[in-house]
Amino acid sequence: MMNTAMEIAKENLEHKGFLDIEVDPSLDLVEEINKLKKEKNAILLAHYYQESEIQDVADYIGDSLGLAQKAESTDVDIIVFAGVHFMAETAKMLNPNKKVVLPDLKAGCSLSDSCPAPLFKMFKEKYPDHVVVSYINCTAELKTLTDICCTSSNAEAVVNSIPADKGIIFAPDKNLGGYLQKKIGRDMILWNGSCMVHEIFSNEKITKLMVRHPEAKFIAHPECEDHILEKADFIGSTSQLLKYTKENEATSFIVATEPGIIYQMEKASPDKTFIPAPPSTNCACNECPHMKLNTLEKLYLSLKYELPEVQLEPWVIEQGKVCIDRMLDISRKAGFKM
Ligand code: 13P
Ligand code: SF4
């Protein structure tokens, strides 16, 4: 049970927001986070795009599918999600009776933002016989309008599970959808959404890098544009890219996805070289600004005060969960493991 002082602190925190709370700089945050996790029976789930210091303190690091599978199977009281909003919402839908906290509620996703549910609802009405497949990178509300969810790991298996004579609407990522159309030869109606990070890679700079490093394999995430994917030796989700770099005999890789994944690649293959694919501008725009909103300080605060909590309306949980359950079921049958 929370004491009154904690209640007051929580109220203040809700009122002020995390940005105003000062964390004692002398605290060993890793130690504090580990202590709080134990005390509160909490699990810390982190996506590969998180800062390395967050990955190091996580109980599980994974791609969107692995994180959803882990959220489904955990029996803790609190899930702390070091990722973005749609991931924490997915965890909440799978665990309506658990507390799910996201260190910064502003950690959104440009892909998710590119498909507002009310607009999609009108779009969907034009194709009443179509099956709706939505990339998990979408809002909980969009999930209520979706038949089957997918991630970049299992998108092919999900689309292949739909009878060949059925029309498909694929939302919101036109790049992942286009990649699937090409790979499995299935015509789909694509929503015109995209990820700001994966659309920033420079074809010209990548070509130059490939010329300078002819021995390097070029690997890319399917959220990248077609002209980038065409050059790739291997295309896959973050966990599939990581696996490829571990198993492939090449010793250098040019990596076209958010560079947070390179931390695990280097850890797994310390003798190999990983070169982040450069963006077309001179900024660090290949880093996801949403993912990078999470910090060790915010993580500590969210564990300490159990805030900010991801809350969803009961009807959203009930209706939105159906497409996630279908995806997890297809993944289980297709042998996708965490
Ligand atoms: P995966 O985790 O499925 O590789 O997707 C990457 C991504 O962009 C998550 O936001
Ligand atoms: Fe969204 Fe792209 Fe960031 Fe992933 S990398 S959270 S798809 S904006």
Each residue's pLDDT tens digit, 199-227: 999 999 999 999 999 999 999 999 999 99
Query: Residue 263 is inside which H or E element, if any?
Result: helix 262-268
Is the shortest distance between the CB of 151 and ligand 1 below 6 Å?
Answer: yes
| DSSP code at position 164 | T
Backbone dihedral region for residue 45 (phi beyond 0: left; psi -120 to 50: alpha; all else: beta): beta
Is the shortest distance between the CB of 90 and ligand 1 below 6 Å?
Answer: no
The domain 5-108+291-312 having CATH identifier 3.40.50.10800: the answer here is yes
**CB-based contacts of 28: which residues, under 8 Å, 6+ apart?**
none
Of the candidate CATH numbers 3.30.420.10, 3.40.50.10800, 3.40.50.720, 3.40.190.10, the domain formed by 111-195+319-333 belongs to 3.40.50.10800
Q: Do domains 111-195+319-333 and 201-276 have the same CATH topology?
A: yes
Is the shortest distance between the CB of 302 and ligand 1 below 6 Å?
Answer: no
Task: Give the Å distance between the CA of 174 and the centre of ligand 2.
Answer: 14
Is the shortest distance between the CB of 258 and ligand 2 below 6 Å?
Answer: yes
Listed by start position, the domains of the chain span 5-108+291-312, 111-195+319-333, 201-276
Task: Give the Å distance between the CA of 321 and the centre of ligand 2.
Answer: 21
pLDDT value, residue 6: 53
**Interatomic CA distance for residues 255 and 261, integer angstroms:** 9
Q: What is the pLDDT of residues 79-91, one digit of tens each?
A: 999 999 999 999 9
Task: Give the Å distance between the CA of 62 and the centre of ligand 1.
Answer: 9
Of the candidate CATH numbers 3.40.630.10, 3.40.50.10800, 3.30.413.10, 1.10.10.410, the domain formed by 201-276 belongs to 3.40.50.10800
**CB-based contacts of 255: which residues, under 8 Å, 6+ apart?**
219, 241, 261, 262, 265, 274, 275, 276, 277
| DSSP code at position 201 | B
Given a cut of 80, is residue 12 above it in pLDDT? no
| Nearest residue (CA) to ligand 2, atom 6 | 109
Q: Is 128 exposed, middle or buried (0-12, 13-18, 19+ CB in 10 A)?
A: exposed
